[in-house]
Amino acid sequence: MTFQFDFGPEGVAGEGYRKVTPADSYDSERGYGFVKGSQVSAVRRSGEPLVGDFCIPFDATFVVDVPDGNYIVDLSLSDELAPTHTSLKTNGERLILKDRRTIQGQIVWEKFAVNVRGGKLKLSFGGLAPRLNALRIAHSPELITLFLAGDSTVTDPRDGIFPQSGWGQMLPYYFKHDVAVANHAVGGRSSKSFIGEGRLDAIKEEIKEGDFLFIQFGHNDQKPDEARFTDPETTYKEYLKRYVDAARSANATPVLITSVQRRFFDEAGKLKDTHGAYLDAVRELAQEEGVALIDLAEKSKRLYEELGPEETKKLLLWGEPGEWLNYSSGVQDNTHFQEYGSLRIAELVVQGIRELNLMPLTMYLR
């Protein structure tokens, strides 16, 4: 199953491609188009097939209805007469391209993987001078899927909370097109409530041999309510083991991750640990079960202490009154990240992948 689109002013499309102009707003019957509110214009430079014309998707989102699953996406973002500057996020605002530049006349095709849930593949464009010449979308069920189970520090953001961001949102940026990231993490969930809501069952329905399941909980396992609380000495490890068993039953690889640190410093500028025995429980379970461990608590501790109390505010969700549109009264959140912070934390997760030499994931890192 393949979808192919040629973008630009009205005219003849490349062979096998559908022509898309700025006037093509998303329509459910047609199954593709730019969503309402997108700023799109079009330019023709030459008669060169596919890359001789383009749309300028300035702060625009293009949507294609596709069945759920993994897809490889190829897109061209070139201009014969001008340099370009494009950023791109896919479903769930997952980062794919950041400040991608081309020089005048440079023909560039970018290739990446997208995991689709909910029947829509979304491409959200940013940048100072974005371009979109052509787009190919091919169903690729054979791709390695990297599943993420976790909480708000991992999840893709909801609408209306920018710049809050989870590190799972940024993970696709570090992978080539051979790996699709399926971020099932949801804010407010513990290892217990995630299972209670059937979210692990949803992963079990999709995970296959050769896939990976990254597991990071703990922030909400500390909460006192019955639906979420687990005891680090007993039930926390028991619930985490159910994730490990779910991956192994599908011949997939589980990876345990300790909770990313909260931003709390003592007077000497040293980080205060707020997770206590929950971190030890993850480390113990990894050793007992022979499971790969990324010690994100330790890695984020080193990062925070290196930056110090003031600089770490640039990682976390801090803002003055009026600084962020969605937090107009100001915000001081020492748990959740803004996008720059989640990108840095995702970098630490990638560092852990390299250190463990998790094959073949390591091969497919950019």
Q: What is the pTM of this model?
A: 0.94
Our CA angle for 284, 287, 292, nearest 5°, is: 115
**H or E segment at 195?**
helix 191-196
Residue 324 in 3-state DSSP? Answer: strand
Per-residue pLDDT of the chain (366 residues; tens, 9 = 90+): 899 999 999 998 999 999 999 999 999 999 999 998 889 999 999 988 899 999 999 999 999 999 999 999 999 999 999 999 999 999 868 999 999 999 999 999 999 999 999 999 999 999 999 999 999 999 999 999 999 999 999 999 877 788 889 999 999 999 999 999 999 999 999 999 999 999 999 999 999 999 999 999 999 999 999 999 999 999 999 999 999 999 999 999 999 999 999 999 998 889 999 999 999 999 999 999 999 999 999 999 999 999 999 999 999 999 899 889 888 999 898 999 999 999 999 999 999 999 999 999 999 999
Helices (H), 276-338: 277-289, 296-311
What is the C-alpha to C-alpha distance for residues 57 and 38, in angstroms, rounded to an integer? 7
Domains of the chain in start order, with CATH, are: 2-139 (2.60.120.430), 144-364 (3.40.50.1110)
